[in-house]
Amino acid sequence: MWLKPEEVLLKNALKLWVTQKSSCYFILQRRRGHGEGGGRLTGATLEEINQHWDWLEQNLLHTLSVFDNKDDIASFVKGKVKALIAEETSSRLAEQEEEPEKFREALVKFEARFNFPEAEKLVTYYSCCCWKGRVPRQGWLYLSINHLCFYSFFLGKELKLVVPWVDIQKLERTSNVFLTDTIRITTQNKERDFSMFLNLDEVFKVMEQLADVTLRRLLDNEVFDLDPDLQEPSQITKRDLEARAQNEFFRAFFRLPRKEKLHAVVDCSLWTPFSRCHTAGRMFTSDSYICFASREDGCCKIVLPLREVVSIEKMEDTSLLPHPIIVSIRSKVAFQFIELRDRDSLVEALLVRLKQVHANHPVHYDTSVDDDMASPVFHSTSMCGDHRFGDLEMVSSQSSEESEKEKSPLLHPDALVTAFQQSGSQSPDSQMSREQIKISLWNDHFVEYGRTVCMFRTEKIRKLVAMGIPESLRGRLWLLFSDAVTDLASHPGYYGNLVEESLGKCCLVTEEIERDLHRSLPEHPAFQNETGIAALRRVLTAYAHRNPKIGYCQSMNILTSVLLLYAKEEEAFWLLVAVCERMLPDYFNHRVIGAQVDQSVFEELIKGHLPELAEHMNDLSALASVSLSWFLTLFLSIMPLESAVNVVDCFFYDGIKAIFQLGLAVLEANAEDLCSSKDDGQALMILSRFLDHIKNEDSPGPPVGSHHAFFSDDQEPYPVTDISDLIRDSYEKFGDQSVEQIEHLRYKHRIRVLQGHEDTTKQNVLRVVIPEVSILPEDLEELYDLFKREHMMSCYWEQPRPTASRHDPSRPYAEQYRIDARQFAHLFQLVSPWTCGAHTEILAERTFRLLDDNMDQLIEFKAFVSCLDTMYNGEMNEKIKLLYRLHIPPALTENDRDSQSPLKNPLLSTSRPLVFGKPNGDAVDYQKQLKQMIKDLAKEKDKTEKELPKMSQREFIQFCKTLYSMFHEDPEENDLYQAIATVTTLLLQIGEVGQRSSSSGSCSQECGEELRASAPSPEDSVFADTGKTPQDSQAFPEEAQADWTVSLEHILASLLTEQSLVNFFEKPLDMKSKLENAKINQYNLKTSEMSHQSQSELKLSNL
């Protein structure tokens, strides 16, 4: 609770107050005789007052030392407290109504201060301070769908910041010299610190979500599918972002399908029979699941698919069991939840979804018992009574499996490991005794905690998993832990249909699959014959057919081959679905973004847990490159198979957390050797040798070498590490990472990885362009940023047009960003040196048509820069050639906007001689100069260069009009106008003479002979005496006259006769000032255009 600061003017007022706490700037007092014994002070509890005092000390105390006088300190503190009062009031209003008045006021200020188009929706706003050096600027932070904006008007100075989310390279919580907790925004050139938020946690979460959604929407649309509520950016609200954050945590924590939507989170308690008490925690309800997680991490977790739920009932409310409900599942087990607030509405909503799920996926009960389940392990007494546990994982899929066998006899019916059982190096009795002990332990666990997907998941089961799952149970438990069993049961016949549809189809994906089939566990006998290879081919091809966005990626073959060893073919398919689509999101795609994000997270975990190693290896990228295969193949490709499957056991139970902590354990075990390594190559050898010598003493099968057994022939025996010990160490030393922490790290590093890809794209494009142009590399970078920003602004505020292509990271680097004609016109206006006033837009349209070689209405950065390079750095003849090409087809069209001028009419004839008088009385005869220039140009012309078509009368006048427009406001404007008038007259006469000489070709042969006698060469004919009478020019019939044309050589030679024109085209041009102005004005130009458009639309709608 914040009170408005007011000055107390009562005489002797200080005698009425007693000081409780004080500092150099603040005093905490209570009224004398009041508030003693922990009573209420000024309407607030003592705890609240102490919290506020702590906030002042942490956020303001160190800051105030930067001010020079007490007035500034008082002004700053009052402004800060008033802003906090306003924010607290607005947040209370936001809870009471959808669009509070305060938010509308903030929206009006946001629009007025930043002048964005209406499409730029404000999501939320906060009072805070932005640090400029050591000085804090109190103001307002506005978070919109595409930008982070800050506005401050403090001590007579206005500050505006606009940072697009796509420009943010790092978003993190940090501390500086003055404050312990700030939010730092890092862009390409600057760092900005924001602090003194009322609720910094909330602000950071909203910023994290907005940055993640916007960057993935604009930069990573290769596989990214937005939640339905976020599909339309203009509809995003703060509530939507908070819901998305909760949804993503829920799906990651319970590893559920990405389409699963969270509906409610309710505090409650669950009866846990193994501990004989109620365990406090939270219930999560979604489209198809009821989940529970205890408040104490690792104590208890359950996942109840609604497909397995039979009934949900309210029980009688008692003092011992307040607000209870019972959830009964098909295996005749009941789960009791108590202390549920708003129980009635919760049960009602659950029953509606339960009915819907059963309608969509009818449950087929089957009384038959699978052979695999006939063992004592899968038949036991329930912990909730004498009812026998149902065989969920088999019953639900039994009928579908039988129909699959009938329908698709090609499918392999069993796990490959049973068909290709190998005998190990140990005695059979020793092997069996170890396996039997494990099976016995699991059997005891099933009796107490349950055996289906709905089992209680506790710390005890984690310890059993870490010891290694028995081979006979491995495939089944993978299905349960990943919940692939629910997908399997919900889609009977789906896999068989996919196999039939994809069978025999040949495409790039199937070729890649065929190439990798024989590289998948080649050392295992199951994949040394056609049975295993055929099963692997079917699963990979079926998955590529199911999910063409992913298709097939390398390392999927290794993972799938291991799944086929321990699970039936159809089960292996659904396990692959679970891994690719929810357990390792975004791993298997063109750019493996997910794996790179987790690599980056792993680097940060190394710095936090192994600081000495991180300090020794300054560049952790070497370790990151080694660890990529750890994440992509779950250690299967770099560790002996019998050991690596234990890692996969932990992965299916604990998710990616298991890979992080095992990676840290591997590095810690080798930390001493790594710190003494001399280079990256030696570090790689150390890790490879260690991983190759990890053994599994409990494995019933013989050792199977890894793909990277580089050091198996060492003369010196290398110490062997047992996988069980390594996994146990990983849990004990590095198992403290929670799902929430990992997800926050993923948000943080996804920004870094995506921006890294953007930098790579930029560097590759510039590397190709730099050798071909004369523009400085730093100016090219600025141009690339402007080009990309122009593309992005259209993505922000415009409806996607058919021609405009979204950023596609799967395309070649040069084609990832392209702009259309309207975007090009904006950039042309901002950076082109050829500004022609009102004529600029028309010239931009013609330039775009000239550059658009393939006529797809889009141009790339290279074409844009090549054109600018000619304008800024080209020789005069190159510039004139470009201008010439801009005024002939395809750049100039019949429907050109400027074609409705007198250009289509014939030009007035002129018969003046090519002799002009100068002001000083001298005369210049251009005949000889022009003839010599044309001869020289013809010699210099590259014979291989394609000759440009001649320019017609209409095109020539457009050319002249452009030149006149270019000279406007030039310091030498008068001289240039006079010079171009002279050149234009010359060229008109040249065209006329050429026209008359060409038309003579249609006369009789005699006339032709006469003309040839009087005009021995083409050059002489062009410059023939023009001093004839008008009657002479009508010697031939009118219809015999040819078209008026001039060539590029004529124009260039004529322009070279005027020094002022030569100076104009050869003078150096400053690109840097243009680029600086463009950076400042790019947004303004776009917003003014869009506001003009909206006003025009409004006028049309009112008509």
* Crossing angle between the packed helical segments 861-873 and 876-885, to the nearest 10 degrees: 130
Taking the C-alpha atoms of residue 445 and residue 437, their distance in angstroms, rounded to an integer, is 12
Average of pLDDT values for 615-639? Answer: 83
Neighbours of 1006 (CB within 10 A): 8
Mean pLDDT of the chain: 80
Average of pLDDT values for 399-403? Answer: 43
With cut-offs at 50, 70 and 90, classify the pLDDT of residue 898: low
Across-strand partners of 128?
A: 139
Residue bearing the bigger pLDDT, 838 or 289? 289
Q: How many residues does the chain have?
A: 1103
Taking the C-alpha atoms of residue 764 and residue 148, their distance in angstroms, rounded to an integer, is 29
Taking the C-alpha atoms of residue 773 and residue 754, their distance in angstroms, rounded to an integer, is 29
Query: What are the respective helix, strand and coil percentages of the chain, to the nearest 5?
Result: 55, 10, 35
With cut-offs at 50, 70 and 90, classify the pLDDT of residue 639: very high
Average of pLDDT values for 605-624? Answer: 83
Look-up: residue for tokens 């304008």?
871
With cut-offs at 50, 70 and 90, classify the pLDDT of residue 893: confident
- Contact criterion met (CB below 8 Å) for 924 and 918: yes
Average of pLDDT values for 173-184? Answer: 79
Residue bearing the bigger pLDDT, 252 or 899? 252
Q: Note if the bond before 890 is cis, omega within 30 degrees.
A: yes
With cut-offs at 50, 70 and 90, classify the pLDDT of residue 388: very low
With cut-offs at 50, 70 and 90, classify the pLDDT of residue 141: very high
Average of pLDDT values for 787-800? Answer: 85
Residue bearing the bigger pLDDT, 821 or 969? 821
Q: Is 99 exposed, middle or buried (0-12, 13-18, 19+ CB in 10 A)?
A: exposed
Residues in CB range of 459: below 8 A, 6 or more apart: 298, 299
Token pair for residue 525? 């006998």
Residue 751 has pLDDT above 80, yes or no: yes
Residue 907 has pLDDT above 90, yes or no: no
Cβ-defined contacts of 234-243 (< 8 Å, 24+)? 234/119, 234/121, 234/145, 235/121, 236/121, 236/123, 236/145, 237/123, 238/123, 238/124, 238/206, 241/123, 241/206, 241/209, 241/210, 241/213, 242/205, 242/206, 242/209
With cut-offs at 50, 70 and 90, classify the pLDDT of residue 875: very high
Distances 506 to 342, 375, 614, 707 between C-alpha atoms, Å: 57, 44, 48, 29
With cut-offs at 50, 70 and 90, classify the pLDDT of residue 1023: very low
What b-and-e string marks burial along 1017-1050, b requiring 16 or more CB atoms within 10 Å of the CB? eeeebbbbebeeeeeeeeeeeeeebeebbbbbbb
Q: Is 612 exposed, middle or buried (0-12, 13-18, 19+ CB in 10 A)?
A: exposed
Residue 400 has pLDDT above 50, yes or no: no
Three-class SS state of 158: strand
- Contact criterion met (CB below 8 Å) for 825 and 848: yes
pLDDT at 395: 35
With cut-offs at 50, 70 and 90, classify the pLDDT of residue 660: very high
Taking the C-alpha atoms of residue 359 and residue 347, their distance in angstroms, rounded to an integer, is 18
Percent of the chain having pLDDT more than 70? 76
Q: Which of 90, 106, 165 is nearest to 139 (CA)?
A: 106
pLDDT at 406: 42
Q: What is the DSSP letter of 902?
A: G
Residue 906 has pLDDT above 60, yes or no: no
Q: Which amino acid does the sequence have at 1096?
A: S
Taking the C-alpha atoms of residue 52 and residue 175, their distance in angstroms, rounded to an integer, is 20
Residues in CB range of 766: below 8 A, 6 or more apart: 777, 780, 781, 784
With cut-offs at 50, 70 and 90, classify the pLDDT of residue 371: very low
With cut-offs at 50, 70 and 90, classify the pLDDT of residue 325: very high
With cut-offs at 50, 70 and 90, classify the pLDDT of residue 21: confident
Neighbours of 933 (CB within 10 A): 19
Q: Which of 495, 498, 514 is nearest to 506 (CA)?
A: 514
Taking the C-alpha atoms of residue 298 and residue 461, their distance in angstroms, rounded to an integer, is 10
What b-and-e string marks burial along 1-25, b requiring 16 or more CB atoms within 10 Å of the CB? ebeeeeeeeeeeeeeeeeeeeeeeb
Handedness of CA 873, 879, 881, 883 (dihedral sign): positive
pLDDT at 19: 77
Residues in CB range of 663: below 8 A, 6 or more apart: 602, 627, 630
DSSP H or E stretch at residue 961: helix 953-967
What b-and-e string marks burial along 761-797, b requiring 16 or more CB atoms within 10 Å of the CB? bbeebbeebeeebebeeebbebbbbbbbbbbbbbbbb
With cut-offs at 50, 70 and 90, classify the pLDDT of residue 236: confident
pLDDT at 561: 95
What's the pLDDT tens digit per position in 979-1021? 999 999 999 988 888 777 766 655 444 443 433 333 334 344 3
With cut-offs at 50, 70 and 90, classify the pLDDT of residue 448: very high
C-alpha angle 98/103/105, rounded to 5°? 140
pLDDT at 991: 85
Residue 424 has pLDDT above 60, yes or no: no
Q: Which of 1083, 1076, 1085, 1072 is nearest to 789 (CA)?
A: 1083
pLDDT at 702: 63
State the pTM of this model.
0.79
pLDDT-wise least confident of 251-260, 912-921, 996-1005, 1089-1098: 912-921
Across-strand partners of 819?
A: 859
